[in-house]
Structure 1
């Protein structure tokens, strides 16, 4: 038996390893990573950075399902996941409140088979540092906007933690989480999080790590590794809201952060401005475009690509840039291994696993590559 009733009763099997002892989970992940990276002969394997086992997620993604009782938030099979132990008690409480409020308003969840109804998803994010939350309703059309706005005061009175509330319009009949249009119901448009004392901002469409405690360890480790050679110039590619770049900041160090999502770049710029960091520049660009047009040569490059990895084009370009060191943060060690095969001229110095996703086979890994 695990500590999750949803898993034990076969209502949800997302955490496929939740009934494994945590030491066994770590061993399985470490073995998987060793098998993938052994051909590259890492000089040093560091102990995995561990996670707490409950309440570590800062984001809930709930499918809205129509039932006779009203909207159910959870899985598409009409299973509520409001009390998922990956969310802390405050998030569970707010999700209960939101579900009840939606039923009182008479909101109809979207029926995938009948292609009827309005509410598709409910997304809830929480700041670990101050407990404030952001709530997003993903809707099929604008038809519910007026009703939600009228009931908003009642919702905020019941759940004062909600500081940012939006509606996202996703009109396509496909399994797409969100659309382009975001409608703000609140004056506040972002949450502030603090990791290792550094302010980072969460906006509706900006990527943010879902396990903030392990993210702190990852950013802190990357900053320590990057700073060892006292680099003068550093690039952070796929920088998101600027977590790596801001942690690596130093008065005599020039840093460029590149990210294609404009919302994330605005968050990163706001953080840099709050910290009065004038040596960091953030640009909303595709990493490949930046790579093709940049004439500079950095001392250290940090890359944090999506699950698909860097790909052949970027890997070959990085080899030509010929930076002294590359720090590669990956959420998919399989694509990482493929990229390492292409990255010529580098050896693997250090490897560390960060258990960002307990109870699953997934993990984050940080690798230091040294030229020559």
Structure 2
């Protein structure tokens, strides 16, 4: 993949940009196998699930810089000045088409970008997600409600410029610290969730919810997990760190009389419940807003975990080790924490594994493992 921003040294986020994609994929597979060699010596590895080399990201988290008249959307340099990346080649076409119009809308609304050095201004970030149907979710991350009237007044013009605009919200992030968003979200649109059609399911994404940033590879990951679940034919499924229900809703064969999801984000759990309502038998699905790692009971025929990079940790691993689950599907974005967690659960033997390349041009990787109780 050729990237003018990378070649010019303006953005080096894609650290493997100069490495041929086939080599990237082979190196990631070798790294994953090596990381799990001691804890998964007998595992059967499938071929890696490859991604498009470019145009794969469905979500952009841009820092806003420049001025209210001439804003930049992209990243901040070492001097905290904005570097505009609106033609970033790893973003989906629907995002690339929207970026210039969103920059124009920021200028038209008179939204003052946040100046990190001076701690002045209002608009910190612009977070944009595109669905497979080219609908958009746009979130303005601001310091206060001061410019909320300007955003409301600018919505008719924004909708006219972006006919696919489905969800618009404002996130309040008053603190001066290196986190992307705050705790309070104000939805300005009639619709509060973005429908994401994945395989044969529609997942509903609220603004403050996690979803894999590579839609095509996420679909492959869910299909793989669903295939494993079909082979297992569990009577009950427990999905920990379930997000908006992607794994739970896919891994629910007819044999699963109960499917329970646990997710710390109340918004995401609500989105999962909305998604389940469209299925023929929604009553068997339960989604709760709670700490997945703090569950007192983790017993089910099949348990699924998709934790943050830190992994599930010793406490939850011990519960699973001494629990009754016959099978575990572990999806991980960090093979180091994955290896540590698998070592804590020797009674659950890794049987199959597959690498899913969610983030081409970077060293990041997603690995899914199917484990069976000895």
Question: Is the TM value for this pair above 0.5?
Answer: yes
Does 2:2 align with 1:3? yes
Does 2:162 align with 1:163? no
Tell me the number of residue pairs that the alignment of Structure 1 and Structure 2 aligns: 367
Task: Quote the residue 2:31 is aligned against.
Answer: 32
Q: 5+ unaligned residues in a row in structure 2: which ranges?
A: none
| Cα distance in structure 1, aligned partners of 2:19 and 2:69 | 36
Q: Is the 8 A contact 2:237 2:252 kept in 1?
A: no
Task: Quote the residue 1:310 is aligned against.
Answer: 312
Q: Is the 8 A contact 2:294 2:316 kept in 1?
A: no
Task: Quote the residue 1:366 is aligned against.
Answer: 368
| Cα distance in structure 1, aligned partners of 2:68 and 2:127 | 22
CA shift digits 1:34-60 (9 cap, x unpaired): 111111213311110010111111101
Question: Which aligned segments of 4 or more residues in structure 1 are displaced greater than 6 angstroms?
Answer: none
| Cα distance in structure 2, aligned partners of 1:297 and 1:133 | 38
- Deviating more after overlay: 312-321 vs 68-77: 68-77
CA shift digits 1:278-310 (9 cap, x unpaired): 2121111111332x1x3x731111111110001
Q: 5+ unaligned residues in a row in structure 1: which ranges?
A: none
Paired residue secondary structure (1:137): strand
| Cα distance in structure 2, aligned partners of 1:333 and 1:314 | 17
TM-score (norm. length: structure 2): 0.95
Equivalent positions of 1:343-354 (< 5 A) are 343-354=345-356
Q: Is the 8 A contact 2:293 2:312 kept in 1?
A: no
Could you tell me how far 1:110 is from its partner in structure 2?
0.4
| Cα distance in structure 1, aligned partners of 2:373 and 2:155 | 56
Equivalent positions of 1:121-270 (< 5 A) are 121-128=125-132, 130-253=133-256, 254-270=258-274
Equivalent positions of 1:262-301 (< 5 A) are 262-276=266-280, 277-290=282-295, 292=296, 294=297, 297-301=299-303
Q: Is the 8 A contact 1:42 1:351 kept in 2?
A: no
| Cα distance in structure 2, aligned partners of 1:251 and 1:43 | 27
Does 2:48 align with 1:81? no
Q: Is the 8 A contact 2:193 2:206 kept in 1?
A: yes
CA shift digits 1:307-366 (9 cap, x unpaired): 000100010010111311111100101100011111121221111100011110001001
